[in-house]
Amino acid sequence: MSVVENLYEIKKQIPDNVRLIAVSKTYPIEDIQHVYDCGHKIFGENRAQEFFEKQAKLPADIEWHFIGHLQTNKVKFVVPFALYIHSIDSLKLLNEVNKEAVKNNKVVNCLLEIYIASEESKMGLDLTEVFKILSSPEFQQMQNVRICGVMGMATFTENTDLIRKEFQNLKAGFDSIKTNHFKNNPYFKEISMGMSGDFHIAIEEGSTMVRIGTAIFGKRFMI
Ligand SMILES: *Cc1c(COP(=O)(O)O)cnc(C)c1O
C-alpha cells in the first residue's frame, strides 16, 4: 500500500475527537509532501536538527509537533516552528523553551512527558516531579509556555494488558494533575498516547492525540 492509502486506512480507525499526528521522522520530504497533499497537515518529528532542516523545505502551514527528547541547547531549533512540544521532561527544559518562546514572541503548547513504561530506556517524569515543577516559583513566572496535558510511551511489548495498564496510569496521572493544578484551565486537556502498535488501546483509554509513524510511512530504515 502507498503512504496515502495507509493514511486513509488509519484515519478510518481514529475517531474525530482524537488528533492524528503523522510521525515523519527519518522519512523523506517527498513522502511527507504526499501526505500533506491529501490534506493532512499535522506532523511530528523527534530530532531537533532533522526537524529544523525538514520544516524549511515543507509548506509553512504544517502544524508541527515535536515529540522527541530535547536537549536545552537544541531548543532554539525547535521553538520557532513547533506548535506543540510533547516531551517536556524537566524544569530546566521548560525554562529554556519559555525563554526561547519569549524571543520568538509566541506561546508554545507543552505536554509533560510522564514515565509510564516498565523499560529503563524510556524518558519522563514521575508525578512527584511534575507537582514539584508546577509548584515552583520559576514555573509561576513563565508567561510563554502553556501546559496542555501529558504524553507517555508504553512498554514495547506484545502484552496488551500491560500496555493498557500503562495507558490507564497515564490517564490517572492526567486526572490528578488536572485536579491539583489546572482544574479550571480549559487548555489542560490533552493526553498524547498511542503509536502504530498500540493506538487502538490508547484511544480506548482516553487518548486525545495519537502519534503514528510506521503504520503510515512504512518500515523505518534509519534510526
Ligand atoms: C517514532 C515515535 C512515534 C511513532 O512510532 P511508530 O511506532 O512508528 O508509530 C511516536 N512517538 C514518539 C515519541 C516517537 O519517537
Q: What is the mean pLDDT of residues 109-126?
A: 89
Q: How many residues does the structure list for the chain?
A: 223
Report pLDDT for 43: 98
**Ligand 1 and 67: CB distance under 6 A:** yes
Using the atom order of ligand 1, give the atom closest to the CA of residue 151: 13
Report pLDDT for 222: 60
- Helix, strand, coil % in the chain, rounded to nearest 5: 45, 20, 40
**Ligand 1 and 25: CB distance under 6 A:** yes
Report pLDDT for 123: 81
What's the mean per-residue pLDDT of the chain? 96
Residue 22 C-alpha from the chain's centroid: 11
Q: Is the dihedral of CA 52, 55, 56, 61 positive or negative?
A: negative
- CATH number, span 3-217: 3.20.20.10
Q: Where are the beta strands (DSSP E) in the chain?
A: 19-23, 42-45, 63-66, 84-88, 108-113, 145-151, 190-192, 209-212
Residue 95 C-alpha from the chain's centroid: 18
Task: Calculate ∠ Cα 148-161-88, nearest 5°.
Answer: 25
The span from the CA of 83 to the CA of 65, in Å, is 6
Q: What is the mean pLDDT of residues 38-61?
A: 97
Using the atom order of ligand 1, give the atom closest to the CA of residue 212: 9
Centroid of ligand 1 to alpha carbon of 213 (angstroms)? 6
Centroid of ligand 1 to alpha carbon of 196 (angstroms)? 7
Report pLDDT for 204: 98
pLDDT for 68 beyond 60:
yes
Q: Which of the listed residues 20, 23, 111 should we mutate to test ligand 1's pocket, taking the one with most ligand atoms within 8 A of CB? A: 23
Q: In the chain, what are the domain boundaries?
A: 3-217
pLDDT for 203 beyond 80:
yes
Are 152 and 116 in contact, with CB atoms under 8 Å apart?
A: yes
Backbone angles phi, psi at 66, to 5 degrees: -90, 125
Nine cell digits for residue 131: 507537582
Using the atom order of ligand 1, give the atom closest to the CA of residue 25: 1
Centroid of ligand 1 to alpha carbon of 202 (angstroms)? 13
Centroid of ligand 1 to alpha carbon of 125 (angstroms)? 18
Nine cell digits for residue 50: 532533522
Nearest to 208 by CA among 177, 159, 167: 167
Centroid of ligand 1 to alpha carbon of 197 (angstroms)? 9
The span from the CA of 125 to the CA of 130, in Å, is 6
